[in-house]
Structure 1
Protein backbone atom coordinates (compact mmCIF):
# COMPACT_ATOMS: atom_id res chain seq x y z
CA UNK A 1 0.00 0.00 0.00
CA UNK A 2 1.17 3.50 -0.79
CA UNK A 3 1.21 6.13 1.94
CA UNK A 4 -1.94 8.24 2.10
CA UNK A 5 -0.75 10.68 4.73
CA UNK A 6 2.44 11.67 6.52
CA UNK A 7 3.74 12.79 9.88
CA UNK A 8 7.03 14.36 10.81
CA UNK A 9 9.70 12.47 12.70
CA UNK A 10 9.28 15.03 15.47
CA UNK A 11 5.52 14.39 15.72
CA UNK A 12 6.20 10.68 15.98
CA UNK A 13 8.87 11.27 18.62
CA UNK A 14 6.48 13.41 20.67
CA UNK A 15 3.52 11.05 20.26
CA UNK A 16 4.00 7.37 19.50
CA UNK A 17 0.39 7.30 18.29
CA UNK A 18 0.96 10.02 15.69
CA UNK A 19 0.49 7.52 12.86
CA UNK A 20 -2.87 6.45 14.22
CA UNK A 21 -4.04 10.05 14.57
CA UNK A 22 -2.76 10.93 11.11
CA UNK A 23 -4.81 8.11 9.59
CA UNK A 24 -7.88 9.08 11.62
CA UNK A 25 -7.58 12.69 10.42
CA UNK A 26 -7.06 11.55 6.84
CA UNK A 27 -10.16 9.37 6.95
CA UNK A 28 -12.20 12.15 8.57
CA UNK A 29 -11.16 14.50 5.77
CA UNK A 30 -11.63 11.89 3.00
CA UNK A 31 -14.97 10.15 3.61
CA UNK A 32 -14.66 8.17 0.39
CA UNK A 33 -11.60 6.41 1.86
CA UNK A 34 -13.62 5.28 4.89
CA UNK A 35 -15.24 2.66 2.65
CA UNK A 36 -12.03 1.20 1.22
CA UNK A 37 -11.55 -2.43 2.34
CA UNK A 38 -8.19 -1.67 3.98
CA UNK A 39 -9.67 1.13 6.08
CA UNK A 40 -13.32 0.22 6.65
CA UNK A 41 -12.98 -1.96 9.78
CA UNK A 42 -10.44 0.48 11.24
CA UNK A 43 -12.80 3.41 10.69
CA UNK A 44 -15.90 1.63 12.00
CA UNK A 45 -14.15 0.61 15.22
CA UNK A 46 -12.62 4.07 15.62
CA UNK A 47 -15.83 6.03 15.08
CA UNK A 48 -17.79 3.72 17.37
CA UNK A 49 -15.22 4.19 20.14
CA UNK A 50 -15.11 7.96 19.62
CA UNK A 51 -18.89 8.23 19.85
CA UNK A 52 -19.17 6.01 22.94
CA UNK A 53 -16.33 7.81 24.71
CA UNK A 54 -17.94 11.15 23.95
CA UNK A 55 -21.49 10.32 24.98
CA UNK A 56 -22.09 6.63 25.45
CA UNK A 57 -23.82 4.02 23.33
CA UNK A 58 -26.86 6.28 23.01
CA UNK A 59 -24.75 8.88 21.25
CA UNK A 60 -23.36 6.22 18.90
CA UNK A 61 -26.82 5.03 17.88
CA UNK A 62 -28.27 8.53 17.73
CA UNK A 63 -25.47 9.88 15.53
CA UNK A 64 -24.62 6.79 13.48
CA UNK A 65 -27.81 4.74 13.48
CA UNK A 66 -27.78 0.97 13.60
CA UNK A 67 -27.13 0.11 9.95
CA UNK A 68 -23.39 -0.44 10.43
CA UNK A 69 -23.57 -1.89 13.94
CA UNK A 70 -23.19 -5.53 12.85
CA UNK A 71 -20.22 -4.64 10.68
CA UNK A 72 -18.78 -2.65 13.59
CA UNK A 73 -19.18 -5.66 15.89
CA UNK A 74 -17.15 -7.71 13.39
CA UNK A 75 -14.51 -4.96 13.24
CA UNK A 76 -14.24 -4.93 17.03
CA UNK A 77 -13.87 -8.71 17.17
CA UNK A 78 -11.20 -8.50 14.45
CA UNK A 79 -9.01 -6.25 16.61
CA UNK A 80 -9.52 -8.29 19.77
CA UNK A 81 -12.14 -6.04 21.37
CA UNK A 82 -14.52 -8.92 22.04
CA UNK A 83 -16.06 -7.47 25.21
CA UNK A 84 -16.60 -4.12 23.49
CA UNK A 85 -18.27 -6.04 20.65
CA UNK A 86 -20.49 -7.95 23.09
CA UNK A 87 -21.61 -4.69 24.68
CA UNK A 88 -22.46 -3.21 21.29
CA UNK A 89 -24.36 -6.38 20.37
CA UNK A 90 -26.37 -6.14 23.60
CA UNK A 91 -27.20 -2.50 22.91
CA UNK A 92 -28.09 -3.31 19.30
CA UNK A 93 -30.67 -5.85 20.45
CA UNK A 94 -32.27 -3.16 22.61
CA UNK A 95 -32.25 -0.71 19.71
CA UNK A 96 -33.83 -3.27 17.38
CA UNK A 97 -36.59 -3.83 19.93
CA UNK A 98 -37.11 -0.08 20.45
CA UNK A 99 -35.43 2.10 17.79
CA UNK A 100 -33.86 5.38 18.83
CA UNK A 101 -35.51 8.38 17.25
CA UNK A 102 -33.25 11.27 16.31
CA UNK A 103 -33.99 14.47 18.14
CA UNK A 104 -34.57 17.62 16.11
CA UNK A 105 -32.34 19.84 18.22
CA UNK A 106 -29.67 19.58 20.87
CA UNK A 107 -32.16 21.01 23.36
CA UNK A 108 -34.16 17.78 23.03
CA UNK A 109 -31.23 15.42 23.55
CA UNK A 110 -31.24 15.48 27.39
CA UNK A 111 -34.84 14.25 27.34
CA UNK A 112 -33.87 11.41 25.00
CA UNK A 113 -30.94 10.55 27.26
CA UNK A 114 -33.26 10.46 30.27
CA UNK A 115 -35.61 8.08 28.44
CA UNK A 116 -33.02 5.84 26.71
CA UNK A 117 -30.08 4.93 28.85
CA UNK A 118 -27.32 2.42 28.27
CA UNK A 119 -25.73 3.18 31.66
CA UNK A 120 -24.87 -0.44 32.45
CA UNK A 121 -23.27 -1.02 29.05
CA UNK A 122 -21.49 2.35 29.11
CA UNK A 123 -20.05 1.66 32.54
CA UNK A 124 -18.84 -1.77 31.44
CA UNK A 125 -17.34 -0.27 28.28
CA UNK A 126 -15.37 2.36 30.19
CA UNK A 127 -14.02 -0.25 32.61
CA UNK A 128 -12.49 -2.52 29.96
CA UNK A 129 -8.82 -3.31 30.50
CA UNK A 130 -7.77 -2.46 26.94
CA UNK A 131 -9.18 0.49 25.04
CA UNK A 132 -10.32 0.22 21.46
CA UNK A 133 -7.65 2.76 20.48
CA UNK A 134 -4.92 0.58 21.98
CA UNK A 135 -6.29 -2.47 20.21
CA UNK A 136 -6.66 -0.59 16.91
CA UNK A 137 -3.09 0.60 17.04
CA UNK A 138 -1.78 -2.86 17.88
CA UNK A 139 -3.87 -4.73 15.30
CA UNK A 140 -3.27 -2.23 12.51
CA UNK A 141 0.42 -1.63 13.18
CA UNK A 142 1.45 -2.91 9.73
CA UNK A 143 -1.23 -0.83 8.01
CA UNK A 144 -0.17 2.28 9.92
CA UNK A 145 3.45 1.70 8.94
CA UNK A 146 2.47 1.26 5.31
CA UNK A 147 0.02 4.11 4.87
CA UNK A 148 1.53 6.80 7.10
CA UNK A 149 4.84 8.08 5.82
CA UNK A 150 7.35 9.67 8.19
CA UNK A 151 9.09 12.73 6.80
CA UNK A 152 11.97 14.67 8.30
Structure 2
Protein backbone atom coordinates (compact mmCIF):
# COMPACT_ATOMS: atom_id res chain seq x y z
CA UNK A 1 0.00 0.00 0.00
CA UNK A 2 2.87 2.32 0.83
CA UNK A 3 4.27 1.95 -2.70
CA UNK A 4 0.95 2.85 -4.30
CA UNK A 5 0.52 5.85 -2.03
CA UNK A 6 4.02 7.01 -2.93
CA UNK A 7 3.25 6.56 -6.64
CA UNK A 8 0.30 8.91 -6.18
CA UNK A 9 2.28 11.54 -4.31
CA UNK A 10 4.78 11.39 -7.18
CA UNK A 11 1.92 11.71 -9.66
CA UNK A 12 0.71 14.88 -7.91
CA UNK A 13 4.24 16.32 -7.75
CA UNK A 14 4.87 15.52 -11.43
CA UNK A 15 1.57 17.12 -12.47
CA UNK A 16 2.44 20.29 -10.56
CA UNK A 17 5.94 20.40 -12.05
CA UNK A 18 4.57 19.96 -15.55
CA UNK A 19 1.91 22.61 -15.01
CA UNK A 20 4.66 25.07 -14.03
CA UNK A 21 6.59 24.24 -17.22
CA UNK A 22 3.50 24.69 -19.36
CA UNK A 23 2.72 28.01 -17.68
CA UNK A 24 6.27 29.19 -18.40
CA UNK A 25 5.90 28.33 -22.11
CA UNK A 26 4.13 30.72 -24.43
CA UNK A 27 0.43 29.89 -24.77
CA UNK A 28 0.63 29.35 -28.55
CA UNK A 29 3.48 26.89 -28.23
CA UNK A 30 1.99 25.05 -25.25
CA UNK A 31 -1.48 24.58 -26.75
CA UNK A 32 -1.20 20.98 -27.96
CA UNK A 33 0.84 19.99 -24.93
CA UNK A 34 -1.75 21.56 -22.62
CA UNK A 35 -4.52 19.66 -24.41
CA UNK A 36 -2.67 16.41 -23.73
CA UNK A 37 -2.17 17.49 -20.12
CA UNK A 38 -5.93 18.01 -19.81
CA UNK A 39 -6.38 14.42 -21.06
CA UNK A 40 -4.11 13.08 -18.28
CA UNK A 41 -6.06 14.96 -15.62
CA UNK A 42 -9.47 13.97 -17.02
CA UNK A 43 -8.41 10.32 -17.14
CA UNK A 44 -7.30 10.54 -13.50
CA UNK A 45 -10.69 12.05 -12.67
CA UNK A 46 -12.57 9.32 -14.55
CA UNK A 47 -10.77 6.54 -12.69
CA UNK A 48 -11.41 8.19 -9.33
CA UNK A 49 -15.11 8.41 -10.17
CA UNK A 50 -15.13 4.71 -11.09
CA UNK A 51 -13.23 3.74 -7.94
CA UNK A 52 -15.91 5.55 -5.94
CA UNK A 53 -18.54 3.33 -7.60
CA UNK A 54 -20.02 5.99 -9.86
CA UNK A 55 -20.49 6.16 -13.61
CA UNK A 56 -18.00 8.14 -15.67
CA UNK A 57 -19.99 7.81 -18.86
CA UNK A 58 -20.39 11.12 -20.63
CA UNK A 59 -17.12 12.61 -19.37
CA UNK A 60 -14.86 13.39 -22.30
CA UNK A 61 -11.27 12.37 -21.74
CA UNK A 62 -10.15 13.74 -25.11
CA UNK A 63 -11.03 17.40 -25.63
CA UNK A 64 -9.29 20.18 -27.50
CA UNK A 65 -8.76 22.15 -24.33
CA UNK A 66 -5.69 24.09 -23.32
CA UNK A 67 -6.93 26.00 -20.28
CA UNK A 68 -4.11 25.81 -17.73
CA UNK A 69 -6.24 27.39 -14.99
CA UNK A 70 -8.74 24.54 -15.40
CA UNK A 71 -5.82 22.08 -15.32
CA UNK A 72 -4.66 23.60 -12.04
CA UNK A 73 -8.13 23.20 -10.53
CA UNK A 74 -8.35 19.60 -11.71
CA UNK A 75 -4.94 18.81 -10.20
CA UNK A 76 -6.25 20.06 -6.85
CA UNK A 77 -9.51 18.11 -7.10
CA UNK A 78 -7.82 14.89 -8.22
CA UNK A 79 -5.08 15.15 -5.61
CA UNK A 80 -7.45 15.66 -2.70
CA UNK A 81 -9.81 12.99 -4.03
CA UNK A 82 -7.14 10.33 -4.43
CA UNK A 83 -5.52 11.19 -1.09
CA UNK A 84 -8.82 10.81 0.76
CA UNK A 85 -9.68 7.64 -1.14
CA UNK A 86 -6.27 6.01 -0.59
CA UNK A 87 -6.15 7.03 3.08
CA UNK A 88 -9.46 5.23 3.65
CA UNK A 89 -8.54 2.13 1.61
CA UNK A 90 -7.65 -0.97 3.63
CA UNK A 91 -4.79 -2.89 2.03
CA UNK A 92 -7.01 -5.97 1.73
CA UNK A 93 -9.20 -4.02 -0.70
CA UNK A 94 -6.42 -3.64 -3.29
CA UNK A 95 -7.32 -6.97 -4.87
CA UNK A 96 -11.07 -6.30 -4.88
CA UNK A 97 -12.44 -6.37 -8.42
CA UNK A 98 -14.75 -3.55 -9.42
CA UNK A 99 -17.29 -3.37 -12.22
CA UNK A 100 -17.34 -0.27 -14.40
CA UNK A 101 -18.09 0.87 -17.91
CA UNK A 102 -15.72 2.52 -20.35
CA UNK A 103 -16.51 5.94 -21.77
CA UNK A 104 -18.15 4.12 -24.67
CA UNK A 105 -20.29 2.06 -22.29
CA UNK A 106 -18.47 -1.29 -22.57
CA UNK A 107 -18.51 -3.28 -19.30
CA UNK A 108 -15.23 -4.24 -17.60
CA UNK A 109 -13.98 -5.71 -14.32
CA UNK A 110 -10.55 -4.83 -12.94
CA UNK A 111 -8.84 -5.01 -9.56
CA UNK A 112 -8.36 -1.82 -7.58
CA UNK A 113 -4.60 -2.49 -7.56
CA UNK A 114 -4.40 -2.71 -11.35
CA UNK A 115 -6.48 0.44 -11.78
CA UNK A 116 -4.24 2.41 -9.42
CA UNK A 117 -1.08 1.20 -11.14
CA UNK A 118 -2.61 2.07 -14.51
CA UNK A 119 -3.44 5.61 -13.40
CA UNK A 120 0.11 6.21 -12.19
CA UNK A 121 1.71 4.80 -15.34
CA UNK A 122 -0.72 6.40 -17.79
CA UNK A 123 0.27 9.85 -16.62
CA UNK A 124 3.97 9.03 -16.89
CA UNK A 125 3.56 8.06 -20.52
CA UNK A 126 1.74 11.23 -21.52
CA UNK A 127 3.93 13.54 -19.40
CA UNK A 128 6.84 12.25 -21.50
CA UNK A 129 4.94 13.18 -24.66
CA UNK A 130 4.29 16.65 -23.27
CA UNK A 131 7.97 17.12 -22.43
CA UNK A 132 8.84 16.13 -26.00
CA UNK A 133 6.41 18.77 -27.30
CA UNK A 134 7.86 21.41 -24.98
CA UNK A 135 11.39 20.61 -26.14
CA UNK A 136 10.29 20.74 -29.80
CA UNK A 137 8.79 24.18 -29.13
CA UNK A 138 12.06 25.43 -27.73
CA UNK A 139 11.07 25.22 -24.05
CA UNK A 140 12.85 23.27 -21.33
CA UNK A 141 11.13 20.02 -20.37
CA UNK A 142 10.11 19.44 -16.78
CA UNK A 143 12.30 17.08 -14.77
CA UNK A 144 9.73 14.50 -13.65
CA UNK A 145 11.57 11.25 -13.05
CA UNK A 146 10.52 9.34 -9.97
CA UNK A 147 14.12 9.18 -8.72
CA UNK A 148 14.25 13.00 -8.64
CA UNK A 149 11.10 13.04 -6.55
CA UNK A 150 12.51 10.34 -4.29
CA UNK A 151 15.68 12.37 -3.72
CA UNK A 152 13.58 15.37 -2.75
CA UNK A 153 11.76 13.27 -0.15
CA UNK A 154 15.06 12.06 1.24
CA UNK A 155 16.11 15.69 1.80
CA UNK A 156 13.06 16.47 3.93
TM-score, normalised with respect to structure 2: 0.34
Q: Which has the higher contact order (CA 8 A, sep 6+)?
A: 1
**Higher Rg of the two aligned structures:** 1
